[in-house]
Structure 1
Amino acid sequence: MSDNLKELSGEGVSIWLDDISRERLRSGNLAELVKDRHVVGVTSNPTIFAKALSKGDAYDEQVRDLAVRGVDVEEASRAITTYDIRWGCDVLRPVYDRTEGLDGRVSIEVDPRVARDTRRTIAEARALWWMVDRPNLLIKIPATEQGLPAITAALAEGISVNVTLIFSLERYGKVIDAFYAGLEKARENGHDLSKIASVASFFVSRVDTEIDKRLDKIGSDEAKALRSKAGLANARLAYALYEEKSGTDRWKALKDAGARPQRPLWASTGVKDPDLSDTLYVDELVAPGTVNTMPEATLEAEADHGQVRGDTVRGAYDDARAHMAALKDAGVDYDDVVRVLEEEGVEKFEASWKELLDTITGELESKKAGA
């Protein structure tokens, strides 16, 4: 039998799991995925934690202790989420050591309610970095306009960063510049650049969802023919921009000082449209030096019937540009699409964070009553 995930890894794609939970950690499932499914990293977000807290009894003991101590819900949320992330970092530590820090990374996101507040984002990043206290941690900071200087500030202090919620090519260019600025300041501050990691999470399926909705509204045959291709085109052009920026003197100077590249990470790779192949955003985004973070369903689909055909990105730049031009001609406003996606992304994570806090509040109250 072919090992599709091994082949994918062999093409230079790091396979990360887009999920974490206390039960997954407690049962040894994460360790099994590392061993059997070539998983070399983990990402989390508020939605994932809200889902984890709502199921099973894995958090009961910790919540009971927090209730006895009388902590408020904000402190409880940090205690619960950082516990999982710290444990995840420990599970992935052998991968981190084996890859000399390239992989074995686990991500935790700053409170999404501060996504448009630079100072609070920086403060949250520092607090989470201190609380988890693991070298293979990544702090997720949204790529909002206010998040860009926070990315630079965190990196300047030696904090490794996963930049999340990137939708537009223009914003991605600014993210790369913020990464360079952070490393330049880190070097000035005396940090070892080889110890600082960063990935840039470029969202894929949500782009198709929003653009396809607009194409369906236009309704012409020409518009319908453009469906479900924008997410790939946008991501491929992001990789082209990554390559372009990697050839600059600015990056070469940082590389000579020991810096590692900020790898493109394909996020939102679970297919939303049931008519599409469930491995579309994996098989069609194979390129060296990238990360693909997958929900478990996508991971298992790729293992079962993925089609790894070598690099599917670098030979497709011209087609990607042509597709984006055709979308513009059809009347799709790209700038408005990515603006809406960023706003919705922040709002969705805020809603999930509120759901998480509400769940924890209910758990704390029930444990107090049962004490």
Structure 2
Amino acid sequence: MTQNTNTQALSDVGVSIWLDDLNRPMVTGDELKTLVETKNVVGVTSNPTIFASALSNGSAYNEQVAELAASGKGVDEAVFTITTEDVISACDILRPVYDATNGEDGRVSIEVDPRMARDTDGTIKMAKQLWETIDRPNCMIKIPATVEGLPAISATLAEGISVNVTLIFSLDRYRGVMNAFLTGLEQARENGKDLSTIRSVASFFVSRVDTEFDKRLDAIGSDAAKELKSKAGIANARLAYQAFEEVFGTPRWQTLADDGAHVQRPLWASTGVKDPNLSDTLYVVELAAPNTVNTMPPKTLDALADHGEIAGDRVSGSYDEAKATMDALEQVGVSYADVVEQLETEGLEKFEASWEELLGSVRSELEKAGDNK
């Protein structure tokens, strides 16, 4: 099969396209394999919201739920079994990509229980449990970038486990994430781990930043505020890429690279536009840069394939303009610190709500299966 021209153009810039979706039909049929062959998809990310949606749509999980009910499994254990099975299947489909890219891509991410986001030890324990259960080298464990998550990231990496750090909104927290990554690799080296086998990405959220900034700009209502709408997300991400270039140009990093370590790539998450007035490929085109990942919901991937116009690297060298944008936002009265704190809190709340929805759906299906015995 031939790759789509637009997705190939993005790949040629140095962007890895990962799909932000995972469900049972996708991995039991040919859908994921076809996306790899026709739209340059080289990875998959999942989260509690995606799993909750997958389970509530259709009957793909009914047979497995009935088996779990018959064996007396509880809700948490059933959810763990269902979600890890999908990830194992996706890992196996993407294994040729993993092998062809020397482990850089072909990755499938699964998140720790979001109720653990403020529990360092609980996160470490569940990360190890997921890694051991899935038992695939191309799996990545997603850990939220909370203050409590940072030491868990280091400890998980120190065990030789690949990590996708999620829910990053602020530049300060992103620098903390990169420090946690370097610390984890240093500990892994002390533990005798092969650094070349450990991979990590840092998921920096984009569209949610615009949504919150724009809401506040609308409330201010001045001409200067209106001029700044829908600019914060891209500016924030571009400054994150500047920080990435700085950190991975330090002697501390070079020492690890000399021992076989790979950089922690920035991953642009939340790249589906929320504002219908914006181009549906905005966060793909404007954040194209070497050594990055863009994880797209299916709708955004389809838009890119259909009409996305990739204009090369749009990030490198854009830092002065990006900083000017962020400064202007502060000047019109929008507090960056307040926005990013709120986004982290809301992000965790949304994932916890989705997890509870997932637990509720499985509980209901287990009860129904039990009634039908």
TM-score of the superposed pair, with normalisation by structure 1: 0.99
2-structure distance, mates of 1:41, 1:126: 21
**What CA RMSD, in Å, does the superposition of the two structures yield over aligned residues?**
0.8
Q: Which residue is 1:63 aligned to?
A: 65
- Report the CA distance between 1:2 and its aligned residue: 7.0
Q: Which residue is 2:173 aligned to?
A: 171
- Report the CA distance between 1:37 and its aligned residue: 0.7
SS at match of 1:315: coil
Q: Which residue is 1:123 aligned to?
A: 125
Does the 8 A contact of 2:4 with 2:40 survive in 1?
no
1-structure distance, mates of 2:167, 2:53: 20
Q: Does residue 1:95 correspond to 2:104, yes or no?
A: no
Q: Which residue is 1:342 aligned to?
A: 344
Q: Which residue is 1:356 aligned to?
A: 358
2-structure distance, mates of 1:2, 1:185: 42
Q: Does residue 1:18 correspond to 2:20, yes or no?
A: yes
Q: Closer, same or farther in 2 for the Cα pair 1:317/1:51, shift >3 Å? A: same
> What does 1:311-326 correspond to in 2, within 5 Å?
311-326=313-328
Q: Which residue is 1:85 aligned to?
A: 87
2-structure distance, mates of 1:123, 1:196: 18
- Report the CA distance between 1:315 and its aligned residue: 2.6
Q: Does residue 1:328 correspond to 2:347, yes or no?
A: no
The list of structure 1 runs, each at least 4 consecutive aligned residues, that deviate by more than 2 angstroms after superposition, is none
Does the 8 A contact of 2:84 with 2:133 survive in 1?
yes
SS at match of 1:138: strand
1-structure distance, mates of 2:168, 2:279: 23
Q: Which residue is 1:234 aligned to?
A: 236
How many percent of aligned residue pairs carry the same amino acid?
Answer: 65
Does the 8 A contact of 2:154 with 2:180 survive in 1?
yes
- Report the CA distance between 1:23 and its aligned residue: 1.2
Q: Over residues 146-182 of structure 1, what are the superposed CA-to-partner deviations in whole Å (9 max), with x where a residue is unaligned?
A: 0000000000000100000000000000000000000
- Report the CA distance between 1:60 and its aligned residue: 1.2
Q: Does residue 1:223 correspond to 2:244, yes or no?
A: no
2-structure distance, mates of 1:217, 1:205: 19
Q: Over residues 285-328 of structure 1, what are the superposed CA-to-partner deviations in whole Å (9 max), with x where a residue is unaligned?
A: 01000000000000010011111011000131111000000001
Does the 8 A contact of 2:11 with 2:17 survive in 1?
yes
* AA aligned opposite 1:253: T
2-structure distance, mates of 1:185, 1:216: 47
SS at match of 2:317: helix
2-structure distance, mates of 1:283, 1:75: 41
Q: Which residue is 1:132 aligned to?
A: 134
* AA aligned opposite 1:309: A
2-structure distance, mates of 1:66, 1:201: 33
2-structure distance, mates of 1:158, 1:105: 15
Q: Aligned pair count? A: 371
Q: Which residue is 1:201 aligned to?
A: 203
- Report the CA distance between 1:24 and its aligned residue: 1.1
Q: Which residue is 1:47 aligned to?
A: 49
2-structure distance, mates of 1:27, 1:54: 19
Q: Over residues 178-205 of structure 1, what are the superposed CA-to-partner deviations in whole Å (9 max), with x where a residue is unaligned?
A: 0000000000000000000000000000
Does the 8 A contact of 2:142 with 2:165 survive in 1?
yes
Q: Over residues 15-67 of structure 1, what are the superposed CA-to-partner deviations in whole Å (9 max), with x where a residue is unaligned?
A: 00000000111221011101111100000000000000001111111111100
2-structure distance, mates of 1:329, 1:103: 41
- Report the CA distance between 1:242 and its aligned residue: 0.2
Q: Which residue is 2:115 aligned to?
A: 113
Structure 1 alignment gaps of length 5 or more? none
Q: Which residue is 1:151 aligned to?
A: 153
- Report the CA distance between 1:226 and its aligned residue: 0.3
1-structure distance, mates of 2:309, 2:233: 18
SS at match of 1:242: helix
Does the 8 A contact of 2:4 with 2:38 survive in 1?
no
Q: Does residue 1:248 correspond to 2:250, yes or no?
A: yes
Does the 8 A contact of 2:118 with 2:146 survive in 1?
yes
TM-score of the superposed pair, with normalisation by structure 2: 0.99
Q: Over residues 314-364 of structure 1, what are the superposed CA-to-partner deviations in whole Å (9 max), with x where a residue is unaligned?
A: 131111000000001001100000000000000000000000000000111
Structure 2 alignment gaps of length 5 or more? none
